[in-house]
Every structure is written in structure tokens, then in C-alpha cells.
Amino acid sequence: MGEADTTFRIVLIKIQHSLSDEDRHQLNFIFGKDIPRVLQANGSLKNSLDALEALFDRLKISRDNYEYLVKALEAIQRHDCVQSLIDYAKFTREIIPPLPTEQQQQNQVATTIGSLISKSQIVASEILADLDDEDDGVCILKRPSIRFSSPEPDPMDFDMIDLKIFENPEYQWTDEDLKLLNVKKHPRSYQTEIIRDSIANGNTIVCLRTGSGKTVIASMLIKYYFIKKQKTNPNKNFLAVFFVPRKAIRLQQAKAISEIGNLKVQLCEDDQTIDQLIGTNHVIIATPQKFVNCLKNGTIHLSQVDLMIFDECHNTSGGNPYCEIMKFYLCPSKNLDPNGRPTVIGLTATVSAKDTVEKKRIN
């Protein structure tokens, strides 16, 4: 088995571990006659891996053709798993070649083979590092941490800032307002409207198409809640946690949020825990599993957090860490301080819902 085939199989293992037993049972049902009937009996991890092996044997899936699996995952509303396969495709396209024909294999020279192996090893590291979740019991690969440090925040004169800039729907932002807030680019009218609606309503899901500036909206909301706390409780630390579902976009989002200015932004690196960053930062960018670990270990309580932002918040089915965080948020038995819960903002380009049975199970 080649390096590329091994990489694809490991991606499938990671996907299987993210699925619930019910998810896997539904997948096996969809596979139907394409897998042995005995494997449809339940959604155990073993049965599901055996089902995938059967699909390989019957040429239903391969590292170059997994549309069959994508359709099945879409049918059970696991778009996060589909995204994992899309990310895999992005990494491998143009680097790991399609499976060669028999004639091509005969004509392939040794130097070309060596070059392809080298490239596939590089891309395999990138794929697996991105898919590897911290402390989830399925450690595949460790990579060097990404070092990021936002500039030291400029001081703000909070007494000079009137929060009506954010809160009053009739107020028109001026250049002087933007200068006072240290905002370099005027938000678009629809962004301003969403910001104000979110502030008025509290917990909010922002659904906009890709590229429409959801991160700008999130950054402005972070700045609003930061300023508000500094005006009302200047001796209290402000903390926002921005969750990203994949490691690969941590740095991108950290840089984008740091551009809003006046905030100390830090990403939680592979060798760090979130509780180590509290007290010295205003915004922490992290994958959700890191936060779940701290909640379970009791090293972080929700009362310490002012704002939680969930990027790609549609990833909330099965055993996704986003669900685990919200269990602490919603369940009094898990949340030690039900009156000290943070504001929750969700960002997504795709609002979807699991089937009725799954929603009843979660509720």
C-alpha cells in the first residue's frame, strides 16, 4: 500500500471517530447491498471500518474516487465530515497523482517515483496534522507548533466612547467614530445591521455566504463587548474564545481578528492549553476540543469567559466538540455557574439540521 493510500485511510479513520454510533448505523444502512448484511446490524466502529474495507474491495471508493461516500455523509447531514474529504482533496490535488494505469506503471521511471513519494510524504504530513485533534484519543501525528503573537494593543480612552455607536440602530457611523474605535475600514451597511441585531438579541447565529465578512462582524462584536466591560468593570479581565473547527485556519483567523486593534489576540498552539493563556490575552483562537478538555478537567469555567464565537457552527451533530461545549453551557449539572454564562455567537454559511431522531436525542 502506497503512502497516498495510507493517508486516505487515516483520514477515513478520523472521520469514523467523529461519528456517533447512530451516524455510523445510518451510513451502513445507506451502503445497503454494497456491504455484507451482517455489518448493517449496528454502528460500532469495528463494523464501520469493516464496511469501508468492503467498499474498497468492491471498488465503490478509492483514494481518487469517494463521491459515493460524500453522498452518504451528506444524506446523514454530516457536512463537517464532507468538508474533511474536501480538504483532503485540496491538499492532494496536483501533488498526489491519480492511480496510474497498468501501462503507466510499466513506463514510470524510478526517478519520477522517488519524486512522487517525496511529495506525497509532505502532503500527508499536512493533511494528518490538520485532521489530528488534540487529546481525542486518536493521536496520529504531531507537528511543530505555529507561533503567533499579535502586536501589543494600543490604549483606548473608554470614557470617550459612546456605546450608542454600536447599539442605536438609527445612529450613523462617522469617520470620527471609526477613528475613536481604531477601526480602519468602515463596515458595510448589512454588517452594521447584523452587529446591532446581535447586540440587541444576545446569542445569535450569523448566516452569510462565504466571503461576505463574517469574521469582520465577529471582530466588531468582540470589540463591543470588550469596550462595554472596560467601561462597566475596568478591573475585570475580558475574555473571548473564538473556536475554529480545523487547525489549518487558526492562524488565518488570529491574524484577521488582530487587525481590529486594541485587543491582545493569541492562538492556542499544539503544545498549549487554553487555561495557560487566560489573564494575559483578550481573545484566544482555539480548536473546540482544547476547550472541552479544560472544561472537563475543571481548569476553566464558563463564568471566566465573556464571549464564545463558533466558526462554522453548523458542525454541531454527533460527538462534535461544539456539542460538548454547549452541553456545559445548557446543562446546570455541568455548568458550575449558570448565571455566569458567556454570550454565544455562531458563524456559518450553511444552516442545516440533523434528522428529527437525532435532534430529539440531543435535546
Q: How far apart are CA 28 and CA 259, in angstroms?
A: 46
Give the range among 114-118, 128-132, 313-317 with minimum mean pLDDT.
114-118
Count the neighbouring beta carbons within 10 Å of the beta carbon of residue 187.
18
- What confidence tens digit (pLDDT) does each residue in 76-95 have? 888 878 888 887 776 665 44
Same domain assignment for residues 180 and 305: yes
Instruction: Pick the more confident residue, 320 or 308.
Output: 308
Q: Is 260 exposed, middle or buried (0-12, 13-18, 19+ CB in 10 A)?
A: buried
Domain count within the chain: 2
Residue 191 placed within a domain: yes
Using pLDDT thresholds of 50, 70 and 90, give the confidence band for residue 320. confident
Same domain assignment for residues 203 and 287: yes
Same domain assignment for residues 88 and 8: yes
Q: How far apart are CA 137 and CA 83, in angstroms?
A: 21
Residue 151 placed within a domain: no
Same domain assignment for residues 355 and 280: yes
Same domain assignment for residues 162 and 277: yes
Using pLDDT thresholds of 50, 70 and 90, give the confidence band for residue 210. confident
Residue 138 placed within a domain: no
User: Quick one: pLDDT at residue 11?
Assistant: 87
Same domain assignment for residues 337 and 207: yes
**Mean pLDDT, to the nearest integer, of 34-42?**
86
Give the range among 67-81, 147-161, 216-230 with minimum mean pLDDT.
147-161
User: Quick one: pLDDT at residue 284?
Assistant: 95
Q: How far apart are CA 65 and CA 82, in angstroms?
A: 13
User: Quick one: pLDDT at residue 230?
Assistant: 92
Same domain assignment for residues 354 and 301: yes
- What confidence tens digit (pLDDT) does each residue in 259-269 have? 888 899 999 98
Same domain assignment for residues 167 and 292: yes
Residue 290 placed within a domain: yes
Residue 149 placed within a domain: no
Domain boundary, last residue among 79, 112, 131: 131
Domain boundary, last residue among 114, 131, 148: 131
Is the pLDDT at 190 greater than 60, yes or no? Answer: yes
Same domain assignment for residues 52 and 99: yes
- What confidence tens digit (pLDDT) does each residue in 331-357 have? 866 655 656 789 999 999 887 655 434
Residue 82 placed within a domain: yes
Same domain assignment for residues 198 and 329: yes
Using pLDDT thresholds of 50, 70 and 90, give the confidence band for residue 106. very low
Is the overall model pTM greater than 0.85, yes or no?
A: no
Is the pLDDT at 218 greater than 90, yes or no? Answer: yes
Give the range among 89-98, 105-114, 123-132, 307-316 with minimum mean pLDDT.
105-114
Give the range among 32-36, 66-70, 325-329, 336-340 with minimum mean pLDDT.
336-340
Using pLDDT thresholds of 50, 70 and 90, give the confidence band for residue 117. very low
- Supply the range of the domain harboring residue 75: 3-131
**Mean pLDDT, to the nearest integer, of 22-29?**
87
Instruction: Pick the more confident residue, 149 or 291.
Output: 291
Continuous H helices in the chain: 3-18, 21-31, 45-57, 67-75, 79-92, 102-107, 110-131, 164-167, 175-181, 189-201, 214-232, 250-258, 288-297, 321-330, 356-362
Share of the chain above pLDDT 90, in %: 35
Q: Residue 316 is part of a domain; what is its CATH number?
A: 3.40.50.300
User: Quick one: pLDDT at residue 40?
Assistant: 84
Instruction: Pick the more confident residue, 128 or 345.
Output: 345
Same domain assignment for residues 68 and 183: no
Using pLDDT thresholds of 50, 70 and 90, give the confidence band for residue 147. low
Residue 267 placed within a domain: yes
Same domain assignment for residues 75 and 210: no
The rounded mean pLDDT for the chain is 80
User: Quick one: pLDDT at residue 129?
Assistant: 52
Domain boundary, last residue among 115, 131, 147: 131
Q: How far apart are CA 202 and CA 93, in angstroms?
A: 42
Residue 60 placed within a domain: yes
